[in-house]
Structures are given as structure tokens and as C-alpha cells.
Amino acid sequence: MRREVLERVGSALERISLKVVDMKERTLPSYAFDSSRGQFDASALLVEAQNPGLFLWIVDKDIYVEGMNFVFGLADRLQGAILSVYRLPSQEIIEKEAIHEMGHVLGLRHCDNYCVMRFSNSLREVMEKPSCFCEKCRHLIHNKL
Ligand SMILES: [Zn+2]
Ligand SMILES: [Zn+2]
């Protein structure tokens, strides 16, 4: 993982005034690797990352959750999130998905508005949504923090 990618995601989160995030950089544990799928189990990684405070762990390997072919990320409410850049082609899209995952960490659900919290399970869907929160989600966040 390039340091620069992490730093730029950090400033993207600050720009939308998301509170301090512990940007993790560590080795993925081998027990979380499913060799038949060739992917890491995102749920196991989230457990591995357990630590107090909000965090975003960005990895460059492909991750999945049971029942899905792959996921871009996985978040635990008020804990932290993991984001894989494996399928994300540009810095802009990485930042967008980082904001999306941190939105979940802050308690937001998926949103149908023109909003970064829109559900996206394909690159096209990621590209079509904005990198900021809609009015409704902004309010929800500010009421919680
Ligand atoms: Zn989501
Ligand atoms: Zn929204």
C-alpha cells in the first residue's frame, strides 16, 4: 500500500470533517485468507483490526463476505471499516469508497438520494454516485457526532 494513497484518503475524510481516523497499515493475517476463493475474508479482517476508536484499514488485496463474490469494503458501526483498493482504479474512487465506509462507521445506512451512501456493487455504480453526503445524511452525521 502506497503511503500517498493513505495520506490522500486521510485528507479527503478531513475535508468533509470526519473525525480522526486511525489509518491502519499492517500485514493481512494468513488465517483470513480463503485459498479456494483467492480472497481475504473481510469479516475476519474486521475482527483482527479491533481496537478502540474509529479506524479505516485500507488493504490492497481482494476481500469478500459470505454470500457475495467480493466487496469493496465492510464497516462495523462505531468501530471501524476495512476498504480494499484491489478493484478500485483511481484515487478519486478510493476516496469515495473510503467516505462511504466511514459513513457506515458513523451509523449511516445506504441512501437512495444522490449521495455517497448509495449502495454500489459495481464500479459503474461507484462512478455514478457523488463523493459527498446528501443533505439528509449530513444531518444524521452531525446529530451523532
Ligand atoms: Zn455500503
Ligand atoms: Zn444520503
Rounded to two decimals, the pTM is 0.79
Q: What is the pLDDT of residue 6?
A: 78
> Environment class of residue 107 by beta-carbon count within 10 Å: exposed (0-12), middle (13-18) or buried (19+)?
middle
Which ranges of 41-144 does DSSP label H, i.e. alpha helix? 42-48, 91-105, 123-128, 135-144
Catalytically active residues, by annotation: 101
Interatomic CA distance for residues 41 and 64, integer angstroms: 5
Residue 66 has a pLDDT of: 95
Q: Is the pLDDT of residue 110 over 60?
A: yes
Confidence (pLDDT) at 143: 77
Quote the pLDDT of residue 29.
Answer: 87
Residue 106 sits at the vertex; the CA angle it makes with 66 and 32, to the nearest 5 degrees, is 30
Which tens digits make up the pLDDT trace of 26-85? Answer: 778 899 999 999 999 999 888 877 665 677 888 889 999 999 999 999 998 877 889 999
Average pLDDT over every residue of 81-98? 92
List, for residues 4-29, the tens digit of each pLDDT value: 777 888 787 777 656 545 566 677 88
Average pLDDT of span 89-96: 91
Task: Determine the distance separating the centroid of ligand 1 and the alpha carbon of 10, expressed in angstroms.
Answer: 19
Domains of the chain in start order, with CATH, are 3-109 (3.40.390.10)
Determine the pLDDT at residue 18: 61
Among the listed residues 118, 140, 136, 138, the one whose alpha carbon sits nearest the alpha carbon of residue 127: 118
Distance from the alpha carbon of residue 101 to the mean position of ligand 1, in angstroms: 6
Question: Separation of 128 CA from ligand 2 center, angstroms?
Answer: 14
- pLDDT in the model for residue 17: 59
